[in-house]
Amino acid sequence: MSDTWWRGAAIYQVYPRSFADGDGDGVGDLAGLRERLPYLKDLGINAIWLTPWYPSPMADGGYDVADYRDIEPAIGTLAEAETFIGEAHGLGIRVIIDVVPNHTSTASAWFQEALRDRSKRDRFWFRDEPNDWRSIFGGPAWTQVADGQWYLHLFDPGQPDYNWDNPEVRQEFHDVLRFWFDRGADGIRVDSAALLVKSATAYEDLDGVHDIYRGWRRVADEYDDRILVGEVWLPDQERFARYLRPDELHTAFNFDFLACPWEPAALRASISLTLSTHASVGAPPTWVLSNHDVARVVTRYGRADTSWDHADRRDGVPADLELGRRRARAAALLAMALPGGVYVYQGEELGLPEVDDIPDRLRQDPMWTRSGHTVPGRDGCRVPLPWSGDAPPFGFGPGVGEPWLPQPPEWKELTAEAQAGDPASMLTLYRTALRLRRDRLGDGSLTWLDLRPDVLAFTRDTRVVCVVNLGPDPVRLPPHSAVLLASGPTGDGLLPCDTAVWLEP
């Protein structure tokens, strides 16, 4: 029988290098993750998505994959990955892994072969002359090799793009999917999913890409209950929905919602558009507040401009963290109440802010170097998690090596240990919300309630009412028999500004 677990799942994103360090070298690994599985079980999530764990020179935090069938030695071994998948399953947690099909690493066997042998270059984009394309990380998108030809890399020079017109590339990825499905992976997150097919003049969202995902879907359907999750950044929601047709990907990240400012009309419009475009193809929406590529939500929502734009990251723009935290709490209840799946990026449940003051010499994001040191980039949302104790490394590892990015000393207030017993903490809010959500929310539908223009309110088909006040004045709660959970005080039946509540009608 087909299990549609993914239609309403709460999925926790693990960035392995920053989650937990088991061996003390300062880099997170599978040993650390396995030790912390009970924490994730307790948090109440249904699945884990891990960003790439493959052997990699780390030109782009592992999104430069040198071997799709093995594990980066600093993270663990293939045998340990299989053990981890089995242990997660034993706790009722599914595992989604990341597959990067747009590009590989210059260290991969295929690219090395192409460098040596010109007849093996058709798997990539080698040309005698480059065009004017720019890399998404800054600088030209072409790099010259010793014999004078140029290869295309939409990202870092360490990430050569595949040529998806080459049948060998197509076959290779079918084999990679089967390799991981055979080892128990429940799903695949598809990196940069809209970029694979290129013409001489364009590379984003070309129609031919859908044929690739129809092929992938046939592979996934050879197995029970396996899913494909697309990373598809497209402003046009109609084009976006095409990736979610019944014979393509199962779900995709909702970046429209992530990028939306914390404003009632914009949020309602984004939610309504999300629901209608997903309904048009029968796919469940997902709700995403943060990930390893964008500024932490507490910081974003504490800035004067609360929207998100990749092209204008606003790194280092001052933020009112108290305001940001209040809004992030309300946003978490909003996201978790909406119909469909929800993603939680590691550390979001601890309310971690963006770290803006990483010393330049320690920055590792290729955005920093490729932008000529003008864009600090994504390291600030990838700082290793604080687990316990009063000083770095905050239980991230056994304390031998320094964490690969420095943790702010003030994170002593934000460790999982410090928050665990505190009823007012972000961690307690996430735990309570995720537990309630498991039984009462997830897949389904909603009906809007019109209370006030600056208030978002809806009833779920599962008979939970969610009210979020984005206006300056407190709002009276609609009639209810019980308050299930609130992101802030709800005394006197009033909901304050930037506060959300779940009610039993």
Residues that bind ligand NOJ (CB under 6 A): 60, 63, 100, 155, 191-192, 231, 292-293
Give the nearest distance from C-beta 142 to ligand NOJ in angstroms: 17
E-strand stretches of 4-155: 10-14, 47-50, 94-99, 126-127, 142-144, 150-152
Give the nearest distance from C-beta 255 to ligand NOJ in angstroms: 11
Neighbouring C-alpha atoms within 13 Å toward the C-beta of 15 = 23
Indicate if 191 belongs to the active site.
yes
- Decide whether 51 or 499 has the Cβ nearer to ligand NOJ: 51
Give the nearest distance from C-beta 156 to ligand NOJ in angstroms: 8
- Decide whether 198 or 292 has the Cβ nearer to ligand NOJ: 292
Give the nearest distance from C-beta 103 to ligand NOJ in angstroms: 7
Indicate if 410 belongs to the active site.
no
Give the nearest distance from C-beta 100 to ligand NOJ in angstroms: 6
Catalytic entry in 64, 191, 248, 379: 191
Catalytic entry in 3, 165, 222, 390: 222
Distance CA 210, CA 194 (A): 9
Q: Which helix (H) or strand (E) holds 459?
A: strand 455-460
Neighbouring C-alpha atoms within 13 Å toward the C-beta of 303 = 18
- Decide whether 29 or 60 has the Cβ nearer to ligand NOJ: 60
Q: For CA atoms 267, 268, 273, 274, give the dihedral sign.
A: positive
Helix 167-182 / helix 209-220 crossing angle, nearest 10 deg: 30
- Decide whether 312 or 473 has the Cβ nearer to ligand NOJ: 312
Spatial neighbors of 186 by CB under 8 A, at least 6 apart, are 47, 94, 95, 96, 225, 226, 227
Closest CA to 73 of 84, 63, 83, 62: 62
- Contact between 184 and 178 under an 8 Å Cβ cutoff? The reply is no
Closest CA to 137 of 75, 201, 66, 192: 192
- Decide whether 153 or 329 has the Cβ nearer to ligand NOJ: 153
- Contact between 57 and 66 under an 8 Å Cβ cutoff? The reply is yes
User: Catalytic site residues?
Assistant: 191, 222
